[in-house]
Amino acid sequence: MINKSMGSLFAGVIISLGLSPLVVQAQQPVSDNQVAAMVEALRLAAPQKKKPTPGYYSDWQVKPETLRGWSKFCLKKELTPTQFENDPKTARQIISCIMKRELTNQFKATNNNEIAAVTGAACWWMTGLYTGCNKGFTGDYVQQVVKLYQQERAKPKAVNSPSSSSKMDN
């Protein structure tokens, strides 16, 4: 009797160990490189600020009411639009936090299809919805974000050096 239950326990351990890599693979988190590429693509796709857009802040052109919720979610405190505007490092941190959340949700929703996830996240960024951005101005914007994302992902990974760090803050 002891041998039979030990055998069952041993078989259960082998089965669970054998399946664990599949479970881990299916639930891989979004990488920092993917998040960084998305954040940079959104920044580059934002309207250029030769003339500031009233009511929008930072290189990402975020509305104050959106910023309040995002800063509270990511930093556990609310930032003012001025604080957000004047601190590019913190602005990037908040946008990265939000995009990690959204990309993770989209990767799950698209069965880990990277381009579909980026498309959904870009659509959400523009409209608050994950679908319906396939034509007109929003369609063009989403396609621009996807293109910029792909360009960012194709770049060699930056080596931690003072010059590469300063590029991230600009």
pTM over 0.85: no
Q: Which of 75, 26, 85, 61 is CA-nearest to residue 145?
A: 61
Q: Are 122 and 152 contacting, i.e. CB atoms less than 8 angstroms apart?
A: no
**How does pLDDT run across 38-49, given as a tens digit for each residue?**
999 999 998 776
**How does pLDDT run across 57-68, given as a tens digit for each residue?**
888 888 888 989
Number of Cβ within 10 Å of residue 81's Cβ equals 17
Distances (CA, A) of 15 to 27, 133, 137: 19, 44, 51
Confidence band (pLDDT; 50, 70, 90) for 115?
Answer: very high
Of residues 157 and 108, more confidently modeled: 108
**Angle at 86 (CA atoms; ends 169, 129), nearest 5 degrees:** 80
User: CA-to-CA distance for 53 and 129, rounded, in angstroms?
Assistant: 23
